[in-house]
Structure 1
Amino acid sequence: MNENTSNPHKAVISLTTGLEDPEKVTVAFLVAVGAAEEGRPTLMFLTKEAVRLAVEGVMQGVACDGCPSLPDLAKRFEVAGGRLLVCSICFDAKRLDQGTLVSNAEIGGTIPMWRWIGDGCATTFSY
């Protein structure tokens, strides 16, 4: 496998699942953390139940034996510069409070996501 830590391509991870499937959340965050810690600008687009993960205090627990904790993954993602874009329609439909968002999250939809990607390339993953 070739190692390229100076790759400028952005990474976008789309996540629809919340804590009802903590293993899927763990995998999505592992992919996002890996991209961000390798220097890629990284955005997680949270939709459906995943929007709750952007609320302070929700990322709790460990998905499986040997898995990193969800709070640790969230912190590593934030420290590495990762951003959370939270679907505005999904967030509002769940009547969540924007004042409770974690510091690296913002409300937005597909247009802000496409603006963030811009004209360059982006590697995408969907969970």
Structure 2
Amino acid sequence: MHNGFCINLTHSTDDHDRATVALVVANAAMASGKDTMVFLSSEGARLAAKGTAETIHEEGFQPMADLLKNFIQAGGKIWVCSPCYKKRSYTEEHLIEGATIVGGAKLVEFLSNDAASVSY
């Protein structure tokens, strides 16, 4: 059985609360030993662009930049929806270290291995 856990994040600068809670849960999943992947789609794709995480700090939580950095350093995967990223006029040169641009097939493959999933 796969030990996968997927967090589909569709928000970033448009909803700091949802984006932050998603990364708090992602870090908790990593700490629990789950093979954790955050899929950034829709507005969430903006988090994969350099400098965006630094603009988000929801009261009562760690800054987004720290949550994202801790998640990646712990071995968490950041996958970015390719069309969502391109739609927002980002290119590979904007991509933060540790993030990977992927197509929908990659997400389907991950989820098809009995991974649990939540969305924010």
TM value normalised by structure 2 = 0.90
| More relative contact order, 1 or 2 (CA 8 Å, 6+ apart) | 2
2: distance between equivalents of 1:34 and 1:50? 19
Q: Which has the higher helix share?
A: 2
Shift of residue 115 of structure 1? 2.4
Shift of residue 118 of structure 1? 4.9
Partner of 1:52: 46
2: distance between equivalents of 1:98 and 1:86? 11
Shift of residue 38 of structure 1? 2.0
| 1:110 partnered with 2:118 | no
Q: Is the 8 A contact 2:2 2:115 kept in 1?
A: no
- Alignment RMSD, CA only? 1.6
For 1:58-73, list aligned pairs within 5 A: 58-60=52-54, 61-64=56-59, 66-73=60-67
Partner of 1:15: 9
Partner of 1:90: 84
Deviations 1:13-61 (CA, angstroms, capped at 9, x unpaired): 0011111111111100011111112221111111111101011221023
Q: Is the 8 A contact 1:12 1:45 kept in 2?
A: yes
| Alignment-mate amino acid for residue 107 of structure 2 | M
Q: Which has the larger radius of gyration?
A: 1
| Alignment-mate amino acid for residue 123 of structure 1 | A
Q: Is the 8 A contact 2:4 2:110 kept in 1?
A: no
**Residue-pair matches, total:** 119
SS of 2:72's equivalent in the other structure is helix
2: distance between equivalents of 1:67 and 1:14? 20
Unaligned runs of 5+ in 1: 1-6
